[in-house]
Amino acid sequence: MEKIKKSIFKKVNKAFDTNLTTKVTDIFRDVDNNSVKVHNNNGVYEELNDEKVIIRTGSKISIYIMGSLTFFFAIISYFVNQEINLYLIPSVISMLLFLYAFTIPSKKIILDRKKQLITLPGNFYYKSYTFPFNEAQANWSSIVGGGGPQFMLAIKKRGNSTGFIVNAHVKLYYEIWSLYVWYMDKNRPLPPGEAFDSYRQKDYERRKSEGFPKPLYPSNIPTPEATKEQQVERKQIGRW
């Protein structure tokens, strides 16, 4: 009887477990050049190459939008009823939001493929913190929006209580995680997409000089080289 209870408990616990394994499990849309910030164009990625990916979070923009909406509400309150001074509270909140957005540190997420490190922003005025990628814990987080619940990817250092929402050029949280696990596996070829094409040969030569070591993280899907010739050479030297 005791064994049955434990079995049921484990099944229920697994059903509500939001943790994602560090594994390439899903195919995702190729990373195109439109996803990268070039000159004055705003993309998801501020920088993207064979050594580092810098992901823009949009935290400051969100705060500026909140401040603008609050300021707009203050103006409406002023014209509706000036005697009660309802506009004072939203006016103060709006100014505080603008001040906060202007003074907080830059909120960026950095994936260092070469050094195998991930940098996450700190909350409020806390500085960013860096730790090994193999110590990262990924979860899906549900956020209720106007169109219903949205499932986002959240990453934190294993053991920490809070994480940070991480975006990509795709929306599904498990595709985002697969993309970043693939990228951070420096023993695999770079993920598919034209944004990485100019770096593929350099990355290939690096891995070739290292003897094509085995992947750091498992994968359910193929992760081939850019050309058939490279794929054959990798199998001959690296044997995986």
Q: Which of 59-73, 167-181, 224-238 has the lowest mean pLDDT?
A: 59-73
Tokens of residue 20, six digits: 């994602």
User: What does the pLDDT read at residue 206?
Assistant: 97
Provide the 10 A C-beta neighbour count for residue 122: 13
pLDDT of 118: 97
Show contacts of 81-84: CB within 8 Å, 24+ apart.
Answer: none
Which tens digits make up the pLDDT trace of 1-59?
334 444 454 443 444 457 899 999 999 999 999 888 765 566 789 899 999 999 987 55
- Examine the pLDDT at 126 and tell me if it is beyond 90: no
Between CA 157 and CA 165, with CA 161 as vertex, the angle to 5 degrees is 65
* pLDDT number for residue 1: 34
pLDDT of residue 157 exceeding 80, the answer is yes
Tell the burial category of 111 from Cβ atoms under 10 Å away from its Cβ (0-12, 13-18, 19+).
buried
pTM for the model stands at 0.77
**What number is the average pLDDT over the span 123-138?**
87
Here the tokens at position 165 are 């929402």
Q: With contact defined as beta carbons under 8 Å apart, do 54 and 47 qualify?
A: yes
Q: What is residue 6's predicted lDDT score, i.e. its pLDDT?
A: 42
| pLDDT value for 178 | 97
- Are the beta carbons of 27 and 221 closer than 8 angstroms? yes
Of 135 and 61, the one with more pLDDT: 135
Ordered by start, the domain boundaries in the chain are 19-58+107-186, 61-103
Q: What is the pLDDT of residue 181?
A: 98
> For 177-198, what is each residue's pLDDT tens digit?
999 999 999 999 999 999 999 9
Residue 13: per-residue pLDDT: 42
Lowest mean pLDDT among 70-84, 97-111, 131-145, 200-214: 70-84
